[in-house]
Chain A
Amino acid sequence: MEIGGLLAYLVSFAIMAGIYAVFTLGLNIQWGYTGLFNIGIAGFFCIGAYTSALITSPKPTGLYAEYVQQILALGLPFPFGLIGAAMASGFIAFLIGIPTLKLSEDYLAIATIGIAESIRLIFNNEQWLANGPQGLAGLPQPLSGLVDPRYYNYIYLLIVIITLVIIYYLIEKAIRSPWGRVLRAIREDEVSAAMSGKNIIKFKMQAFVFGAMVMGIGGALYAHYTKAISPDVFTPLYGTFIIWVMIMAGGSGNNKGAILGAFVVWAIWIGTKFMTSFLPYTFKSRAPYIRFLLIGILLEIILIMRPQGMLGEEKKVSRMA
């Protein structure tokens, strides 16, 4: 592969890894710092992506309008899409949080699975919402007029990196604040934290919503990179599980770990693509399953051998990750 091609490949790699890093940061707020076992990331991923799509896509005209149904098409610029994605995700998280955050960890986990599945079912079946199973395509890309389409990805990578850095900075600030300390106290020992008079539910809700907003932004970034989304993108596998593998690999309760985990696991994921490209033809169609099998086994190995991930937890808060 000549240098231009290699570079382009690395850029796409970095964009996807960066987008997933946004997700792991969001999950880290919920799980790493507050101990909320959210297995419904795909739900927020989905909401963020679709909201941004609906806000930014132009109204379908002409022949296209015959085939596409969607509830919104505001044609607004990209930043509105991002903000809208964050708001929508956060709002849905708030609604979900009201009944579920008082549940114990395992029930919360099951509830989040249910919510993500329900969200996906709704987007898949309610044609009027966002075109059902066909999804939305032709999503606009920010600043796309600026350069030759061949080099557009460099711009997008920049956008992703800037977003990632801003989010990282915001989270770090929040975590080191008194608010963040309460979160950590809740994760360590909820009973004592409650007894010290803090309104636990309120803090959990704030962390949950904050994390969801970040995930929503991740969804928006994804949508505008791939330019087309449909419900089958936001499956438990691609939309939730792989992010958990990333955060466990990198280290929960550690923002640097979260980002590192995203890049490393995405690299492994791409690596498996290389591995399976050597498979004989008959197995080619099974390649994605083999790759995911390996990711699943990777998670088990991490949980058994190094559950604290590569970087471990940030401070001496050494409760089991």
Chain B
Amino acid sequence: MAELFVYGIVLGSIISLGAIGLSLVYGILRFANFSHGDLMTLGAYVALFFVTGPLAWLGISDKQLLPFSFSLRIIIAFPLSMAVVALVSIIIDRLIYKKLRDKNSSLVIMAMSALGVSFIVRMAVLIIWGADFRFYRPGVLRPALMLPLGVKMRPDQILILGIVGCLVFILHVFLKKTKMGIAMRATSDNMNLAQITGINIERVIAWTWGIGGALAAAAGILYGIDVQLHPGMGWNFLLPLFAATILGSIGNVYGALLGGLIIGVAQQMSTAFLLPTYKPAVAFLIMIILLLVRPQGIFGGKAKTWK
């Protein structure tokens, strides 16, 4: 049981990264970004591209860095992929969402277009890499399980917690101390007033997508390191991501962090009596109960609706 809890935290931290990005986008752009899960998929596969492509050609060593399961290549590919997905997210916004925004399209149309983007991204991944499962370092037996305090964890997983912690900390500093960070929070509070104040909304939006995309990519890569890559991985995260975001109150970064952990633990604990494939359904059930009982999430604030 304790082991399920611990792994739930690990999984939950990955969900958190995605949920934080989703929460930011939801809070500022006010529409349900159904493509967020597939941005995770994109991040994982872009990293795979770097690992098997340019970094291999450059002769970067693929020697396994014990006690972890990966090599130097993933370490280099990680930030590269985050940057690529950040850029792609901004480009998608310029190409698609901005055009719809400028036409004052309804938020339903925007959510629908996000759904379309999710399929486009997934198809692109399927076209390039096919439907099989992939690994960053194939053939590696997950290195020996550690046993601190009687609970088993892989060194990879401890690192995942560390990386998520770091990224969240960096984000925290960014949102608190930088002008753009404060402007993002301001825009999330009240976009109208932000405009009146003279804040450049389009720039805020670009930063939002960049950060959201980068965090989603990171989450995808971490999942790929921990488990595996497959083209549907992001879509399977969609329900947990939304559940976590709503649980933590939309627009609230720390709420999304907590929400992700809670959802992760709940999902993992459910495997004690349900098949693991039902995990998204568990997240979904939690979300439905939440929406009925306390739609504004743990931290309240306006229950962000479209109306």
Contacts and interface: CB of A to CB of B under 8 A. Distances in A.
B280 interface: yes
Interface string A38-49: 010000000000
A230 to B, nearest CB: 15
B109 interface: yes
A285 B130 contact: yes
Contact of A105 (B117, B123, B281, B306): B306
* Most chain A CB atoms below 10 A, which of B104, B127, B295: B127
A118 B238 CA distance: 13
A304 B111 CA distance: 13
Chain A, interface SS category: helix
B277 A121 contact: yes
Q: How large is the interface on B (under 10, 10 to 19, 20 to 34, 35 or more residues)?
A: 35 or more
Nearest to B96: A300
Contacts of B287: 110-111, 114
A110 B119 contact: no
B123 A304 contact: no
A124 B275 CA distance: 11
B120 A106 contact: no
B136 interface: no
A33 to B, nearest CB: 14
A110 B277 contact: no
Contacts, number: 126
A114 B288 contact: yes
Given A99-B292, A113-B239, A241 B130 contact: no
A190 B305 CA distance: 14
B241 to A, nearest CB: 10
Chain B, interface SS category: helix
B266 to A, nearest CB: 14
Nearest to A96: B288
A113 B119 CA distance: 14
Interface string B102-128: 011111110111011101100110110
A299 B126 contact: no
Contacts of B295: 103, 107
B7 interface: no
B27 to A, nearest CB: 13
Given A117-B239, A320-B109, 17 more contacts: A104-B306, A106-B32, A107-B246, A110-B287, A113-B239, A117-B281, A191-B307, A241-B115, A286-B127, A293-B120, A293-B127, A296-B116, A300-B116, A303-B113, A303-B116, A307-B109, A320-B105
Interface of B: 31-32, 34, 96, 99-100, 103-109, 111-113, 115-117, 119-120, 123-124, 126-127, 130, 235, 238-239, 242, 246, 275, 277-278, 280-281, 284, 287-288, 291-292, 295, 305-307
